[in-house]
Amino acid sequence: MLDSVTHSTFLSNTMVCDPLMSWTELFGTTEDGYPTCDHQTARDKACVRAGGINGQECHSHGRTNLQSSHLWEFVRDLLLSPEENGGILEWEDRGQGIFRVVKSEALAKMWGQRKKNDRMTYEKLSRALRYYYKTGILERVDRRLVYKFGKNAHGWQENKI
């Protein structure tokens, strides 16, 4: 199985400036029950208006906002903010836009959280990703949990923004 990967992917903390809720809040106690959705605290944080994140970006890219309405943008933004993705996603080949879903369940939970849908699963999320093959947002990669941005995807390259 050579997990390889994850040198220090133990979500140690990395939550230096969580844009959404904290990791513990997400996984610490919620296996699948999900009493999560508090009322306001967590919700408010998740509702920070896009671009309204008062320049609180951590170091690195000035893009710490996961408010994207579309799945592929959400994935892209997560990929672009390593501080927040806690090792969920990882670039396989940054130059070619190839990335791997390291923690499928976590990704599904995050997406579900974004859409306020606690029934989200990787099975379902991946179905949505598969539809992107038709529109050129993503390209198929013959490897488990590996995807590649297609010609119609934008904003994932370091230089081009």
Partner DNA sequence: CCTCACTTTCCTGCTT
Partner DNA sequence: AAAGCAGGAAAGTGAG
Residues in contact with DNA by CB under 7 A are: 69-72, 104-105, 111, 115, 117, 119-120, 122-128, 130-133, 135, 140, 142, 144-146
Of 70 and 94, nearer to DNA (C-beta) is 70
Number of H helices, E strands in the chain: 6, 4
Of 116, 20, 97, 101, residue with least CA distance to 66:
20
> What span, in angstroms and rounded, lies between the C-alpha atoms of 78 and 87?
10
Pairing of strands 89-93, 138-139: unpaired
Of 13 and 131, nearer to DNA (C-beta) is 131
List of residues 6+ apart from 114 with CB closer than 8 A: 20, 46, 66, 74
Q: At its nearest, how many Å lie between DNA and the CB of residue 42?
A: 18
CA separation, residue 14 to residues 4, 18, 24, 46, 105 (Å): 20, 8, 12, 18, 19
Q: At its nearest, how many Å lie between DNA and the CB of residue 121?
A: 7
Of 45 and 124, nearer to DNA (C-beta) is 124
Of 10 and 133, nearer to DNA (C-beta) is 133
Cβ atoms 95, 82 nearer than 8 A: no
Of 13 and 47, nearer to DNA (C-beta) is 47
According to DSSP, the residues that pair with 99 across neighbouring strands are 91, 147
Q: At its nearest, how many Å lie between DNA and the CB of residue 143?
A: 7
Q: At its nearest, how many Å lie between DNA and the CB of residue 131?
A: 5
Q: At its nearest, how many Å lie between DNA and the CB of residue 98?
A: 12
